[in-house]
Amino acid sequence: MIPKKYKSIFLIIIIVIILTLSFYNNFWNIANNNWFNNHQRDSESLVVGRLYKSQIDGITSQNGLLGKFYSSQDGEYKIYKNSLNAGDYSTYVGQIGLQGIAFSILDNYTNFNNEQNLKMFWLLNSFLLSLVLAFIMIWLYNEFGISSFIVVSLTTVFSQWITVFGRNLYWSIWIMFLPMLICIYLLYYEDKYGRYNNVITSVLIFISIFIKSSSGYEYISTILISLTIPYFYYFIKNKWANKIFIKRFIVISLSSLSGFFMAMFVHILQLKSELGSYNKAIDSIIYRVLKRTSGDPNKVNEVYRASLESNVLNVINKYLENGKAAINLTNLSFFETTLFIFEFKDLIFLFLVASVLVFASKKYFPSIDENRNKFKALTISVWISFLAPLSWFVLAKGHSYIHRHMNYLLWHIPFTILGFALVGYALGLVIKDLNKKTPLLKNIITILVIVLIAILFISNYISTKNRDERITTLINSSENMIENNNFNIYINLKENRILYKTNNQKVNLDERFFLHIYTISSKVLPTERKKYNFDNLDFNFENHEWDFSILSKYFRNDIAMINMPDYPIKLIRTGQFNSKGRLWENSIELNYSSYQNNYLIPYNLTDNNWEEGINKDGKTILLESNIENVATVQEIKYLVLNNKKVEIQEIQYPSSKWIHVKLKNKIDITKYGYPKKIKVIR
């Protein structure tokens, strides 16, 4: 039989590999690719800006503060990857920026180019988070068994929010789990060997909270509560004396608060050097605290006023049911219905159901009775951990109101992790008891778990293969194409997509692309673009990259897909540009001929102005602005009605939804309305 410690090592290696792949490049397609590639780039660009500032002027320049050279988040990535002339550096004074300093030191000692360094830092962050989570899972395995480990492992892999945050250099969320992990293993060591040292505990907690606070004060209340959870668990499980628990709780509280205030003290010194005085430094910190918490709405900028005037209960409710789901399996090919979308409120209900089993009868569930104290300790720990995310939603109400695009992550620190551990533990104990009555049940459950894991791998393969086929179909069915030395640009009118494809590995994809859309009529353009007579859809390639093959996860993607507007398009002009001008440019007039019909069908509308798609003045026909109608009205001169030609006066596009066919002569509105087919002559 394999010793448990070797099993633990094996499980750590497996889970680290699986999670690192997920966090680094969304390997398992847990999150939408566009969301994964773009989530919190604005925050991360502060670290990227710091990296380049450190290369130019040294790590201590601008007091080591994070910052930007460009107002655009993508500008930081471009100047760093290509070592461009950067201009002025605008500092971000909201934190010390320890993560920027740390990555700058690593950046200084590598022999890779900047683009490779950026990928290496993403990989490092992904690995560290995977390692921290793996050690938490191994503790759960040792405490609650394999069923708890499996449930937590699978749900962590399937977590959209952990996935999209996983590699981000600004957030470095492995640091958020680190204080709790330290406390877990200090107490696990005591539980196993009977030794506990308050001094070592204080030092480690102080350092971990100092590191977290120096990398950003966001979510600090959640992290401070999370590190106390192991103490509540072992207090209940091992029946500590109240005196011991209170003493230890005071020690860890003072240590963590000391780490927090030490970081704030260093931050004040840093800002004093940057801003010129202690008063300005302290005022800067106070202002940021007020706008994030529940400060006076009259003392902050207008943009923060609504957040401070918001109701706490409304804010909490938004984090229960709005936004992106906790787990969404519809990105996987096997799960395509909303049945496999789980909101955070669904998880809370599931954890409540599992918690009720703590009261299960010894008669029916003897295994729960044998482990009732441990079960009770875990259950209480779960609901204490529920306070961790709530603390930030309440105390930092202003921040939570504004940042609904990201604060859902808090549910995982550590509430959902412990909640799923409880579900897995309860499931394992129930299966154990049922297995005594039905011996085959354990084997059935084992097979189901293996099948579920196999489905994950197969679904990833099928999902990627389907995307490949989708791209191939879009390319093959495109009606228009622009071709130059570096790109084939496919324009698919039916699907309203433009695809940029290059097989030239030397082409620079970091330079921005311009995409100008000229319409048949400026009336269909958005209001702000009408004065220019074209629509501007400029973009960065990496924001629209598409994994074209199963192996493209490991190589540079060579496909970008852009959604086209739904109005009639006459001409497309596209190319690349930088600060010196345009690098290349091509244009094409779109050809709709393959969709042309030899007849029109008026739109089925009858109201005060229209009779089955014919205006009551008898001189205008209403058409829906779809691709067939846009194609059919091109260059038409006559309609044929009752074997007679009726001349077209003009074609109008009053909006992106409608086409008006204006006639020179009046027609009988009772004869030619929907669903009659009206023949056209060009």
Question: What are 90's two structure tokens?
Answer: 């605008």
Per the CB < 8 A criterion, the answer to whether 460 and 29 are in contact is yes
**Nearest in space to 367 (alpha carbons), one of 155, 191, 145, 192:** 145
Give me 285's structure tokens. Answer: 């910190």
Distances (CA, A) of 191 to 205, 234, 240, 247, 510: 19, 8, 11, 17, 54
pLDDT given for residue 554 in this prediction: 42
Q: What is the Cα–Cα distance from 90 to 497, expressed in whole angstroms?
A: 37
Q: Which residue has the higher pLDDT, 368 or 293?
A: 368
Q: In the prediction, which pLDDT does 552 show?
A: 47
With a cut of 60, say whether residue 298 has pLDDT above it: no
Q: For residue 165, what are the CA distances in angstroms to 27, 43, 48, 178?
A: 14, 11, 16, 16
Cβ–Cβ contacts within 10 Å for residue 369, how many? Answer: 15
Burial class (CB in 10 A: 0-12, 13-18, 19+), 583: middle
Task: Quickly tell me which residue has 């490049």 as its tokens.
Answer: 25
- Reported as a pLDDT band with limits 50, 70 and 90, residue 414 is very high
| Confidence check: pLDDT of 574 > 50 | yes
pLDDT of residue 73: 61
Q: Is the pLDDT of residue 389 over 70?
A: yes
Cβ proximity of 141 and 8 under 8 Å? yes
- The rounded percent of the chain whose pLDDT value lies above 90 is 46
CB atoms within 10 A of CB 668: 11
pLDDT confidence tier of residue 459, bands split at 50, 70 and 90: low
- Indicate if the pLDDT at residue 299 is higher than 90: no
- Residue 201 has what pLDDT? 97
Tell how far CA 593 is from the center of its chain: 40
Asked whether residue 481 carries a pLDDT value surpassing 80, the answer given is yes
- CA dist 491 and 563 (Å) reads 10
Q: What's the token pair of residue 33? A: 């690719």
Among the listed residues 545, 567, 596, the one whose alpha carbon sits nearest the alpha carbon of residue 659: 567
Helix (H, G, I), strand (E, B) or coil at 663: strand
Mean residue pLDDT of the chain comes to: 87
Residue 499 to residue 212: CA distance in whole angstroms:
42
pLDDT for 338 equals 53
- The pLDDT tens digits for 210-233 are 999 999 999 999 999 999 999 999
Is 10 in contact with 148 (CB distance < 8 Å)?
no
User: Is 390's pLDDT higher than 80?
Assistant: yes
Q: Rounded CA gap, 52 and 82, in Å?
A: 10
pLDDT(291) > 90: no
Higher pLDDT, 3 or 333: 3
**What values do phi and psi take at 137, rounded to 5?**
-65, -35
pLDDT tier at 425 (50, 70, 90 boundaries)? very high
Identify whether 526 is preceded by a cis peptide bond (ω within 30 of 0): no
Strand partners, 498: 491, 562
Q: What is the pLDDT of residues 495-536, one digit of tens each?
A: 888 999 887 777 888 788 999 999 877 777 887 788 888 889
d(CA 113, CA 293): 41
pLDDT at 445 over 90: no
Q: For the beta carbon of residue 653, count every other beta carbon within 10 angstroms.
A: 20
C-alpha span between 377 and 371 (Å, rounded): 10
pLDDT in tens, 24-74: 999 888 888 889 988 999 999 999 999 999 999 999 999 999 999 876 666
> How much is the pLDDT for 595?
85
Residue with tokens 């739109």: 603
Q: Span 428-449, mean pLDDT?
A: 73
Q: What is the tally of helices (H) and strands (E) in the chain?
A: 24, 20
Q: What is the pTM of this model?
A: 0.76
Assess whether pLDDT exceeds 50 at residue 387. yes
User: Mean pLDDT across the stretch 399-416?
Assistant: 91
What b/e readout covers 611-639, taking b as 16+ CB neighbours within 10 angstroms?
A: bbbbbeebbbbbbbbebbbbbbbbebebb
Q: Residue 159 above 60 pLDDT? A: yes
Pair 60, 109: CB distance under 8 Å: no
**pLDDT bucket at 551, cuts 50 / 70 / 90:** very low
pLDDT at residue 249 greater than cutoff 70: yes
| Complete DSSP assignment for 1-64 | ---HHHHHHHHHHHHHHHHHHHHHH-TT--S-HHHHHHTTHHHHHHHHHHHHHHHHH-TTGGGG
Ranking 220-224, 291-295, 333-337, 637-641 by mean pLDDT, the lowest is 333-337
- β-strand pairing of 497-501 with 512-519: unpaired
Rounded Cα distance between 248 and 255, Å, is: 10
Tell me what the mean pLDDT of segment 420-428 comes to: 94
What would the pLDDT profile of 177-206 be if each residue is shown by its tens digit?
A: 999 999 999 999 999 999 999 999 999 999
Contact between residue 95 and residue 66 where contact means Cβ atoms under 8 Å apart: yes
146 to each of 419, 424, 568, 609, how far by Cα in Å? Answer: 15, 8, 59, 70
- Banded model confidence at residue 550, pLDDT cuts 50, 70, 90: very low
- The encoded tokens of residue 572 equal 């497309």
pLDDT above 90 (res 446): no
Least confident of 299-308, 416-425, 546-555, 556-565: 546-555
pLDDT of residue 59: 95
Domains of the chain: 4-437 (no CATH), 475-591 (2.60.40), 595-681 (2.40.30)
Residue 329: predicted pLDDT:
74
In the predicted structure, residue 322 carries a pLDDT above the cut 80:
no
